[in-house]
Structure 1
Amino acid sequence: MPYGAQLTAQGVRFRLWAPDCEQVALCIGRQEPQHELVLPMDACGGGWFELITSRAGAGTRYRFEVNEGLRVPDPASRFNPDDVHGASEVIDPAGFKWQDAEWHGRAWEEAVIYELHVGTFSPEGTFAGVIERLDYLAELGVTAIELMPVADFPGARNWGYDGVLPYAPDSRYGRPDDLKSLIQAAHAKGLMVLLDVVYNHFGPEGNYLHVYAKKFFTEHHHTPWGAALNFDAPGSRDVREFFIHNAEYWLREYHFDGLRLDAVHAIIDDSAPHLLTELATRVHAGIDHERQVHLILENDANEARYLGHGHGQYIAQWNDDFHHALHVLATGETDGYYVDYADMPIGRLGRCMAEGYAYQGEASPYRDHAARGEASAHLPPQAFVSFLQCHDQVGNRAFGERITRIAPEPAVRAAAAVYLLAPGIPMLFMGEEFAAKSPFQFFCDFSGDLREAVTQGRRREFARFARFADPATQAAIPDPNTAQTFLDSKLDWASLGDEAQAGWLAYYRHLLKQRQEVIVPRLRGTGGGAAQFEVIAPGGLRVQWQLGDGSMLRLLANFSSEVVCAAVPAGETVFVSSMEAAKGMLDPWSVVWTLEARKGKP
């Protein structure tokens, strides 16, 4: 690794890019300045400073002394045991003895993703706590777990998107070897492990790069978090390498099976190739060809150009359009960004299921009627990750309510039956499968003035909604900085003893069993342009796909409280929730899936 601390035969090599410094020193030992050994580092040109010393080894704590005596952690720290303001620790990456040599990953069409937050998924809130639930996830029918960001963030609790040390797993979750143990244990049970990474900004507390490496940022572009990261101005080469190496680091050193890149529409790069293209190219070129590694995007711009199996492309994108249309149908909510789906939610859902995006260049009312998206019908359904809930769509609500608190149970069951059996890649959000009663709220643990600013900013964010116009209602919004908000968001596993929660779990297990046995074996080779949809009533929808083995998968759904007249599609029944479907009457909130095998095929 070209950054940070690397063990060598001569000792530990320390490297720092500090183009705004005339000199840099390495400080090793105990964290009190008077007890640290201070060693000057050599300037290597281009803003780089380096030192190889035998006075450090695995376990050594260290910091860098930059302008005017400020001592800062390593931005490429492999571990920061005392949080983001403390000293970094030298880690020996070869110290962990991997035993997953026979694991080469899983094919993408087999993916059933389970998104989880390490801190709230288990009572322990650690990597070890996730290991304890791997058997449960495998029995559920999950084939991949996706960890929300684990990069070191400030304080004791955070969603992970405020990370400032992108190479260091947060110490609240465990040490680096604990994360490796989780991945190894998951592989032993046939589970892929994906990681959410953030390459569009640093968090607001604990980022010292602006002191000694101002070229990490540029004022030529701006994002919702301020000055953009510098991917196309002078000095951008070193910035680009920092993040490309980070992607390679997680995949190689930790054996992750893939990465989900957060909000890439906020990665602004006017150069060629775009950072996204270069990163994907480098990752795939550097990974053992026997390993199956998957790169996934979150991209509000709906840029289909990045999706595919070609040079510098990504296997899939989170499909927010799918979620938003399904959410409007299930809940009736049409405020905020849901306004874009209010006019014809059933048609927009149908387009998502058959063609990928709902918005493929059309004007978005929510975005002041700006054009959004690119044509996507040429892409296979597996290029899109579909979901009913995720951390954003639950946690960005004022009170973090899950869908079962805001939509009728029949509507939620119908929505689950649609997205879990469709040819796209399904993703569950932790606890969804048993209709978890606990909310998932926005939480953090900032210090100083930032703490109060975030609390008040969260409440002002909702003031523009009519139901939060009253100051008393605003004040009731949970304070993201209190420990209780975090604790309230932990999954209550004891609730699985309740009849209602056990019933939901059985329902999800049944759907995922049907997916694994009937749908997945036919997905390989499914191409784009092989699906059609038809709106048959205000809440009625037909969709059909020709799958990779030539069979026809058909969906008939009624997302309304009225009975819909519709003939059941031809083929063997895969799933049916309407008792009257055989008579050509589709009950409210009903779903029917059928499969017609190609002649001569079972």
Structure 2
Amino acid sequence: MLRQSGRAPASRHAMPFGAQMTPEGVRFGLYAPAQSRVKLHVDGLVREMEALPEGWHRALVPVPAGTRYRFELEDGLIVPDPASRYQPEDCHGPSEVVDPARYQWHDADWRGRPWHEAILYELHVGAFTPEGTFRAAIDRLDDLVELGITAIELMPVADFPGPRNWGYDGVLLYAPDSSYGPPDDLKALVDAAHRRGLMVLLDVVYNHFGPEGNYLGAYAPSFFTDRYETPWGAAINYDGPGSRAVRDFMIHNALYWIEEFHMDGLRLDAVHAIHDDSAEDLLSELSRRVRDAHPDRHVHLVLENEENDARRLVPGARGGFTAQWNDDVHHGLHVAVTGEGDGYYADYRADPGLLARALAEGFAFQGEVMAYRGAPRGEPSGTLPPTAFVAFLQNHDQVGNRAFGERITALAPREAVRAAAAIYLLSPQVPMLFMGEEWASAQPFPFFCGFTGDLANAVREGRRAEFARFPAFADPAVRARIPDPVAETTFLSAKLDWAAREDEDKKDWLAWYRAVLRVRREHIWPLAGTVRRGGTFRTAGKAGMEVDWFDGKTPVLSLRANLGADEVGGLSMPEGAVIWAEGEIEGGRAGAWSVRWILRA
């Protein structure tokens, strides 16, 4: 059912970067401290920009929205605007002037939703529908509402090189990629989501720029530093000389998505790769400025952080964050249902109790040594509310970083997957589905990109070399079967087949997910005000677990489960209303792949 709402006022984020429309004309601004002169190519003319202190170059030109422009450096190199709002000819082409006030919003009374109501659905715009556009995604929003989703989380949409990409190779961070549609189409998607009561979160990448199409080094080398390293190339300078403009560029970007596109929040990718020794580091400053700018809205800031820094998740902390993706829950569930133990799964296979701890307390490692890393990991997290963690069984990384991009239903039996899904979907932590999970989609989600030339070859060979260290891929002939990441067919294989939902088996899966999420809304949401910290846990046998959450000292929600193919005993069964059941549990003995969620009086 669509919400009725009046038109909202025009949304425009003021910033020193890029092309800003003013009553006098378009103000073009480029931060280029390494250039004494910069020329502006606009409207068929070439104009000298005014050089200002601290590396800024500006020009005011009376041109309309839709005008295309570029900057010319002293050596003749012509580059796009790093703060371009739109790149209709991809990242190497001209930028286009956009009037942010042109789109007429219809969400005047929308203030978002409280975080405990979040049921996230991660999707890739290009693979979500056959058309792969923002507009096409609108046509599927009603399906998500019917499923029980309350928030969609978009994988990064910032402009990337080529016609397809996961999004983590973005180079023009303010421009929605033109392969998905113009900026107004993304606004229409957000607007349509809000009319249906859906929040929209956007994945943003502030830890690196992609390997092609980033020209910042040519005119603003202070954007980068060699004092740190990242797995993806040059580290961004957030704490050295000249870093103020760099920090402002990223913080304005966060505010831009929230203000001009009405995003309800952001998910910050791999913040453990952001290096900053400032007294107030980038993450803290970004959170503070976003919160201060929007005290009257539910704006949610979510981290991906391998370091498991609990201090960033303290409720109400200035510069803090709403939640963090909980890889520990995923790893524990994945190992339990698949039996896999390679790489970072090894620790979780060696100690099944890590899953119970992650469900109860948030982090599985809270300062202990993680053998895979050979170093301590994490901070104590048991005092944090469960909603500080996002739990999932699948996401783009954990599916797509596999050699063939297989989904969990291709790796584990049906009853095992349902038991694991029932645990994370009804946990007091915030659940996140990956697109197509709700009907056990058979489509893989392999890694794909649209690079060409030498870079394409490097990515192709690097992908296969990455798996050479795993025993299953020791044979070169096996590695040769890994999908070519730059081939269009690899991308097309990831597109969801919505017609498959009509198969009887898929209908059954869909009905199951709808029923579980209905129980979450009815029974788990009301606990948000009472379950304010982590719970307690106990293991039984190889795969049995007990987890209890409390209202002060009184248990209010209990999980009893056996995530294994063999029966386990020794479980204590509390009294209360069973709100969800999988498998058989009776008299303290739990059959294979069994789950009981119990609401205690």
TM-score between both structures, scaled by the size of structure 1: 0.96
Q: Which amino acid aligns with 2:24?
A: Q
Alpha-carbon distance between aligned partners in 2 of 1:489 and 1:545, rounded to the nearest angstrom: 38
Q: Which moved more, 1:174-183 or 1:518-527?
A: 518-527
* 1:361/1:371 contact within 8 Å kept: yes
Deviations 1:458-516 (A, max 9, x none): 00000011111111111110000010000000011111111111111111111000000
Task: List per-residue Cα deviations over 1:575-594 (Å, max 9, x = no partner).
Answer: 11234x24443210000011
Query: Superposition pairs for residues 20-419 of structure 1, below 5 Å?
Result: 20-29=34-43, 36-54=44-62, 56-287=63-294, 289-308=295-314, 309-345=316-352, 347-367=353-373, 369-419=374-424
Distance in 2, matches of 1:496 and 1:361, equals: 44
Provide the C-alpha distance between the structure 2 equivalents of 1:224 and 1:393, rounded to a whole number of angstroms.
18
1:11 aligns with 2:25: yes
Aligned counterparts of 2:446 and 2:24: Cα–Cα separation in 1: 49
- Taking the aligned partners of 1:313 and 1:393, their CA distance within structure 2 comes to 26
Q: Which amino acid aligns with 1:295?
A: L
SS of 1:195's equivalent in the other structure is: strand
d(CA) in 1 for partners of 2:525, 2:554:
13
CA contact (8 A) 1:63 1:72 kept: yes
The question of 1:595 aligning with 2:599 is answered: yes
Displacement of 1:408 in angstroms is 1.4
Report how far residue 568 of structure 1 moved: 2.8
Aligned with 2:85: secondary structure?
Answer: coil
- Aligned-residue offset at 1:550: 6.5
**CA offsets per residue over residues 406-463 of structure 1, 9 Å max, x none?**
1111110100000000100000000011110000010001122101110010000000
Could you tell me whether the CA contact under 8 Å between 1:524 and 1:549 is conserved in 2?
no
CA contact (8 A) 2:323 2:389 kept: yes
> Are 2:87 and 2:95, in contact at CA under 8 Å, matched by a contact in 1?
yes
Match of 1:426 in 2: 431
1:548 CA drift (Å): 8.4
Q: 1:488 corresponds to which residue?
A: 493
Q: 1:522: Cα distance to partner? A: 1.9
CA distance in 2: counterparts of 1:264 and 1:44, whole angstroms: 33
Q: Give the alignment's Cα RMSD to 1 decimal.
A: 1.2
Secondary structure of the structure 1 residue equivalent to 2:187: helix
CA contact (8 A) 1:259 1:294 kept: yes
Deviations 1:188-215 (A, max 9, x none): 0000000000000000000001111100
Q: Distance in 2 between matches of 1:75 and 1:569?
A: 59
Which letter maps to 1:195? L
Q: Which residue of 1 aligns with 2:7?
A: none
CA deviation after TM superposition for structure 1 residue 567, in Å: 4.3
Unaligned runs of 5+ in 1: 30-35, 598-602
> Do the aligned partners of 1:547 and 1:553 also contact (CA within 8 Å) in 2?
no
User: AA paired with 1:51?
Assistant: A
Query: One-letter code of the match for 2:47?
Result: L
State the distance in 2 between where 1:528 and 1:63 align.
Answer: 52
Shift in alpha-carbon separation, 1:548–1:176, aligned structure 2, 3 A: farther
Question: Conserved in 1, the CA contact under 8 Å of 2:34 and 2:220?
Answer: yes
Distance 1:577 1:371 in 2: 36
Secondary structure of the corresponding residue to residue 564 of structure 1: coil
CA distance in 1 between counterparts of 2:120 and 2:169 reads: 23
Task: State the alpha-carbon separation in 1 of the partners of residues 159 and 542 from structure 2.
Answer: 48
Partner AA of 2:19 in structure 1: A
**Does the CA-based 8 Å contact 1:6-1:13 persist in structure 2?**
yes
1:512 partnered with 2:517: yes
Q: CA deviation at 1:562?
A: 1.3
Question: Which residue does 1:498 correspond to in 2?
Answer: 503
- Kindly state the Cα deviation for residue 385 of structure 1 after the two structures are TM-superposed: 0.2
Instruction: Find the residue that maps to 2:256 and give its secondary structure.
Output: helix
How far residue 129 of structure 1 moved from its aligned partner, in angstroms, is 1.4
Report if aligned partners of 2:39, 2:71 keep a CA contact under 8 Å in 1: yes
Q: For 1:321 and 1:166, how far apart are their aligned partners in 2?
A: 30
SS of the counterpart of 2:390? strand
Equivalents in 2 of 1:455, 1:210: separation in Å?
A: 26
- Any conservation in 2 of the 1:164–1:206 contact (CA below 8 Å)? yes
Could you say what secondary structure the match of 2:457 adopts? helix
Aligned to 2:483: 478
Moved more, 103-112 or 555-564: 555-564
- Structure 1 residue 541: deviation in Å? 0.3
C-alpha separation between the residues in 1 aligned to 2:586 and 2:539?
Answer: 20
Mapped partners of 1:537, 1:503: distance in 2:
32
Residue of structure 2 equivalent to 1:600? none
2-side partners of 1:377 and 1:585: how far apart? 28
Residue 525 of structure 1 deviates from its aligned partner by 4.2
Task: Point out the more displaced range, 409-418 or 303-312.
Answer: 303-312
Aligned-partner SS, 2:227: strand
Q: Is the CA contact (8 Å cut-off) linking 2:211 and 2:233 kept in structure 1? A: no
Q: Assess if the C-alpha contact under 8 Å between 1:386 and 1:426 holds in 2.
A: yes
Does the aligned pair in 1 maintain the 2:548–2:555 contact within 8 Å? no
Q: How many residues align?
A: 585
Query: How much does 1:285 deviate?
Result: 0.5
Counterpart residue number, 1:542 = 546
Contact 2:30–2:56 (8 Å) recurs in 1: yes
Unaligned runs of 5+ in 2: 1-14
Shift of 1:551: 6.1
1:33 — aligned with what?
Answer: none
- Find the counterpart in structure 1 of residue 583 from structure 2: 578
